[in-house]
């Protein structure tokens, strides 16, 4: 089962370009720029709340669950210091 899940996860490193959330909802949506490509992904729960502390322009390494592919979800992240 873990082997199946690992095929749906993807790591990426990019810059946070925008963030959207409602103060009373534990969901956050980020737009992350990788080179010339923009990816929009959502996070929920504690990960979503932790992402809200990021400044725009921060560089992060995000682990995405890409199942289903049209709705990637951030399941973990780390800040990359420059």
| Confidence band of 6 (pLDDT split at 50, 70, 90) | low
pLDDT tens digit sequence for 12-21: 999 999 999 9
Q: Is the pLDDT of residue 59 over 90?
A: yes
Span 34-61, average pLDDT = 94
In contact, 71 and 60? CB cutoff 8 Å: no
- CATH at 38: 2.40.50.140
Pairwise pLDDT comparison (52 vs 8), residue with the higher score: 52
Structural domains in the chain (count): 1
Range of the domain at 41: 2-80
- Positive or negative torsion for Cα 73, 55, 17, 10: negative
Q: Is the pLDDT of residue 46 over 60?
A: yes
């Amino acid at each position: 089962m873990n082997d199946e899940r690992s095929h749906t996860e993807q790591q990426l490193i990019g810059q946070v370009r925008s963030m959207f959330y409602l103060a009373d909802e534990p969901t956050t949506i980020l737009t992350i720029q990788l080179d010339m490509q923009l990816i929009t992904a959502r996070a929920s729960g504690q990960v979503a709340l932790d992402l809200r502390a990021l400044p725009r322009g921060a560089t992060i390494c995000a682990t995405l669950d890409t199942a289903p592919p049209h709705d990637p979800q951030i399941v973990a992240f780390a800040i990359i210091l420059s």
